[in-house]
């Protein structure tokens, strides 16, 4: 009897451990930067140009705003983006410093500092600027090395084709001892592109219904912690052996139908991967209170002081 019970407990334990290992494996960040095709570049440029295409001066607010812009404004208010950036500027005395915003959109933050430069991939936003605006990509910043005292980027990194290249470029153009404020949407969900959160069950076949039914579990904090922390511990060991490669999960952006926040996201990055990337190059994380491995799973700014050695 005792042996049967022990055997049953061992079998149950193996099933639980095996299932857990599968879940961790499915959530592991296998992807990294790769060459981008011209078609991918043009698709992104066209999407964001269209998002800002309608001129604000010719129509009332509720008539010209697209769903994309309304969502962006909601997120800015919900997460107090202006307040967070203002606090960053004040704490580090950046009001008279040269600052770059990567993915600046309509330039809503351009008055935070006097010496401001905004960069965006959209060709339709320059009309919103009274300060310097540059059309360009986060992965090929058209500036000399060490051109800026600080940089910030808000809800952009998850939409960048090669985010590690964006980090490298940002680090290149910021001065030694300069600061970076990153606030992307960490850990974007893969089901957002197909609008699973927005659409009814009747829109989907059997597989789609199963996907939608499992969203409450997969988006729960318990599930996210259970599947993320083992990966972080593995990646922490990797970081001990020198500069890390940024690992993430590549997503399929929906550029045809904007269902909601991050349905156009290109990648899902865990914030700890970003922390590791900078720290393993000698930079200092100013927002990593305690152990960096406990960096929040979402909606947390990563503040880095660049140390180029």
According to DSSP, the residues that pair with 267 across neighbouring strands are 250
Confidence of residue 60 (pLDDT cuts 50, 70, 90): very low
At 139-164, the pLDDT tens digits run: 999 999 999 999 999 999 999 999 99
Instruction: Name the residue range of residue 144's domain.
Output: 31-305
Query: Is pLDDT larger for residue 64 or for residue 163?
Result: 163
- Report the candidate in 146, 147, 144, 122 with the shortest Cα–Cα distance to residue 133: 122
20 within a domain of the structure (yes/no)? no
Contact between 178 and 151 (Cβ < 8 Å): yes
Task: Kindly state the average pLDDT of the residues 11-40.
Answer: 77
Is residue 85, in this structure, part of any structural domain at all? Answer: yes
As for how many domains the chain has, the answer is: 1
Give a three-class secondary structure readout of the chain. Answer: CHHHHHHHHHHHHHHHHHHHHHHHHHHCCCECCCCCCHHHHHHHHHHHHHHCCCCHHHCCHHHHCCHHHHHHHHHHHHCCHHHHHHHHHHHCCCCCCEEEEECCCCCCCHHHCCEEEEEECCCCCHHHCCCEEEECECCECCCCCCCEEEEEEECCHHHCCCHHHHHHHHHHHEEEEEEEEEECCCCCCHHHHHCCCCCCHHHCCHHHHHHHHHHHHHCCHHHHHHHHHHHHHHHHHHHCCCCCCCCEEECCCCCCCCCCCCCCCCEECCHHHHHHHHHCCCCEECCCCCCHHHCCCCCCCEEEECCCC
User: Does the residue 10 lie in any domain?
Assistant: no
Q: pLDDT exceeding 90 applies to what percent of the chain?
A: 72
Q: What is the pLDDT of residue 56?
A: 47
Confidence of residue 45 (pLDDT cuts 50, 70, 90): confident
Burial class (CB in 10 A: 0-12, 13-18, 19+), 270: buried
Is there a domain that residue 6 lies in?
A: no
What is the average per-residue pLDDT within 95-119?
A: 97
Q: Judge contact between 154 and 109, C-beta under 8 A.
A: yes
Is residue 100 in some structural domain?
Answer: yes
- Mean of pLDDT values over 27-32: 86
* pLDDT band, residue 58 (cuts 50/70/90): very low
pLDDT classification of 17: cutoffs 50, 70, 90: low
In a domain, 150, yes or no: yes
Residue 196 scores a pLDDT above 50: yes
Please count the other Cβ atoms lying within 10 Å of the Cβ belonging to residue 122: 21
Give the pLDDT confidence score for residue 15 in this predicted structure: 64
CATH number (domain holding residue 78): 3.40.50.150
More confident residue, 67 or 1: 67
**Is the pLDDT confidence value at 59 over 50?**
no
Is 261 among the domain residues? yes
The Cα–Cα gap between 254 and 247 comes to 22
Q: Is 24 part of any domain?
A: no
**Looking at the whole model, is its pTM more than 0.85?**
yes
* Average pLDDT score over the chain: 90
Residue 118: per-residue pLDDT: 98
């Amino acid at each position: 009897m005792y042996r049967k019970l022990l055997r049953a407990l061992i079998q149950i334990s193996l099933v639980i451990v095996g299932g857990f290992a599968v879940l961790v494996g499915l959530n592991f960040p296998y992807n990294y930067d790769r060459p981008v095709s011209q078609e991918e570049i043009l698709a992104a440029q066209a999407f964001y140009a269209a998002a800002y295409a309608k001129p604000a001066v010719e129509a009332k607010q509720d008539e010209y705003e697209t769903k994309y812009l309304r969502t962006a404004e909601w997120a800015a208010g919900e997460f107090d983006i202006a307040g967070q950036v203002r606090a960053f500027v004040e704490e580090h005395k950046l009001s008279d410093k040269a600052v770059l915003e990567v993915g600046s959109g309509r330039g809503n933050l351009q008055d935070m500092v006097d010496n401001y430069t905004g960069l965006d991939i959209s060709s339709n936003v320059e009309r919103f600027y009274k300060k310097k605006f540059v059309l360009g990509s986060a992965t090929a910043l058209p500036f000399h090395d060490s051109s800026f005292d600080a940089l910030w980027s808000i809800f952009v990194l998850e939409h960048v084709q090669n985010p590690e290249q964006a980090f490298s470029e940002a680090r290149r153009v910021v001065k030694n001892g300069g600061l970076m404020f990153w606030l992307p949407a960490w850990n974007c969900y893969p089901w957002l592109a197909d609008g699973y959160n927005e659409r009814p069950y009747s829109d989907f076949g059997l597989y789609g219904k199963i996907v939608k039914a499992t969203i409450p579990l997969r988006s729960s904090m318990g599930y996210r912690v259970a599947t993320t922390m083992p990966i972080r511990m593995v990646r922490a060991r990797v970081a001990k052996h020198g500069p890390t490669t940024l690992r993430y999960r590549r997503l399929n952006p929906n550029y045809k139908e904007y269902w909601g926040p991050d349905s156009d996201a290109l990648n899902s990055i865990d914030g700890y991967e970003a922390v590791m990337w900078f720290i393993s190059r000698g930079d200092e994380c100013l927002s990593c209170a305690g152990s960096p491995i406990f960096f929040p799973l979402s909606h947390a700014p990563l503040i880095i002081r660049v140390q180029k050695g």
